[in-house]
Amino acid sequence: MDQKQRHLQQQTRPGQAGIQAQDAEAQADGLMERSRELQVEQAALAEFNTVEESYGTALAVQIEAKHDQAERIEDRLEKLIEQQASKLQQCRSEQPALIALPGARARWQQKLEQQQSTMQRLQGRLEGVREIKDGMSIHGPRIEELAIRRLRHQDPGLASQWAELQEAQRLNQAHQRRMQKEKEQREQQRTAAGLSQTLTISNRLV
């Protein structure tokens, strides 16, 4: 019986050595693969940082310009609304008396409606400008969207580089997740293989 156990133990050692060698090779391959990935990541990160800085600076300039433009329009509309409010008030004060001729009352009514319509248009435009300046969309601030469009028009090359790098970053992140999942699967397979071989040897000892 002792001879049988010693014989099985001698059989076990090469199997364990083989598993250890496979693990060492897998670890070495993994380290080399990770080293290559780090080199690629560092190069991509350097390029991304350069473009990101240039794009961020250019976009900030456009956002500030759009914000200043919106404020100037807002101020101008507020002044026009004040002026129109005075005109509207004056028009109301000119309402014909009850004994006025029907034609005079009709002309006044028409003038009043025109002044009211002008006021509504100005107020609508002011509301629209404020919505652009302070409003939000599903993608972010409205004024930032306008600035991005302006930047794409003024510097399409930089905008294209930024879009390409964002897509490359997205693909790289997806690749990293896939590699991590594959690594976990390989580790699970090696663990399962080692357990299977150990159980087989244990059954022989019984």
25-42 pLDDT tens trace: 666 566 666 666 655 566
CB atoms within 10 A of CB 104: 11
User: Does residue 172 carry a pLDDT above 60?
Assistant: yes
First to last CA, the chain: 10
Distance CA 43, CA 40 (A): 5
Element (H, E) at 132: helix 102-134
Distance CA 171, CA 176 (A): 9
49-106 pLDDT tens trace: 788 888 989 999 999 999 999 999 999 999 999 999 999 999 999 888 777 787 888 8
Q: What is the mean pLDDT of the chain?
A: 79
- Predicted pLDDT at 173: 83
- Predicted pLDDT at 53: 87
pTM equals: 0.57
Q: Indicate the number of domains in the chain.
A: 1
Query: The domain containing residue 145 runs over which residues?
Result: 2-205
